[in-house]
Chain A
Amino acid sequence: MRTVRIGSGAGYSGDRIEPAVELCAKGDIQYLGFECLAERTIALAQQERMQDPAAGFDPLLEQRMSAVLKICKSKGIKIITNMGATNPGAAARKTAEIAKRLGIGRLSVAAVIGDDVLDVCKQHNSPLLEIGGRMNDLGNRILSANAYLGAAPIAEALAAGADVVITGRVSDPALFLAPLIREFGWAMDDWDRLGKGTLAGHLLECAGQITGGYFADPGYKDVAGLGRLGFPIGEVSEDGTLLVTKVPGSGGIVTEATCKEQLLYEVHDPACYLQPDVVADFSHVTIEEVGRDSVRVQGGRGAPRTATLKVSVGYIDGYIGEGQISYAGPGALERGRLALNVVRERLSLTGVRTTETRFDVIGFDSLHGTVLPRGREPYEVRIRVVGRSDSMAEAVRIGNEVETLYTNGPAGGGGAWKSAREVVAVASVLLPRELVTPTVQFLEACR
Chain B
Amino acid sequence: MKLREIAHSRTGDKGDTSNISVIAYDKAHYPLLREQVTAERIKALFAGIVDGDVARYELPNIGALNFVMRKALRGGVTRSLALDAHGKGLSSALLDIDLENMTEPKVLP
Is B one of A's binding partners?
Answer: yes
A267 touches B12 (CB 8 A): yes
B34 within 8 A of A: no
A266 within 8 A of B: yes
In chain A, residues 316-334, which have Cβ atoms closer than 8 Å to a Cβ of chain B?
Answer: 317, 320
Question: Given the complex, which residues of B lie within 8 Å of A249, measured CB to CB?
Answer: none
Interface residues on A, range: 35 or more
**Chain B residues within 8 Å of chain A by Cβ, number:** 40
A266 touches B13 (CB 8 A): yes
A299 within 8 A of B: yes
In the complex, what residue of chain B is closest to A357 when comparing beta carbons? B81
A368 within 8 A of B: yes
Please measure, in the bound complex, the distance between the C-alpha atom of A283 and the C-alpha atom of B64, giving whole angstroms. Answer: 10
A268 touches B10 (CB 8 A): no
In the complex, what residue of chain A is closest to B20 when comparing beta carbons? A264
A-B CB contacts (within 8 Å), total count: 115
B23 touches A261 (CB 8 A): yes
Q: SS class of chain B's interface: helix, strand, loop or mixed? A: mixed
Assuming the contacts A257-B25, A261-B23, A368-B93, asked whether A423 and B8 have C-beta atoms less than 8 A apart, the reply is: no
Identify B93's interface contact among A320, A372, A423, CB under 8 A: A372
A267 touches B49 (CB 8 A): no
A424 within 8 A of B: yes
A267 touches B8 (CB 8 A): no
B23 touches A257 (CB 8 A): yes
Question: Given the complex, which residues of B lie within 8 Å of A217, measured CB to CB?
Answer: 8
Assuming the contacts A268-B14, A368-B93, asked whether A39 and B48 have C-beta atoms less than 8 A apart, the reply is: no
Q: List 30 A-B contacts (CB under 8 A).
A: A39-B78, A129-B15, A130-B76, A131-B75, A220-B4, A257-B23, A261-B10, A261-B23, A262-B10, A264-B10, A264-B23, A264-B59, A264-B64, A264-B66, A266-B14, A267-B19, A268-B14, A269-B57, A283-B57, A283-B61, A320-B81, A357-B81, A360-B83, A366-B83, A372-B93, A387-B81, A388-B81, A423-B78, A425-B78, A428-B15
Q: Which residue numbers of B lie inside 8 Å of A, CB to CB?
A: 4, 8-10, 12-17, 19, 21, 23, 25, 45-49, 55, 57, 59, 61-62, 64, 66, 68, 75-79, 81-84, 89-90, 93, 96
The 4 closest A-B pairs by CB, nearest first: A266-B12, A264-B21, A261-B10, A425-B79
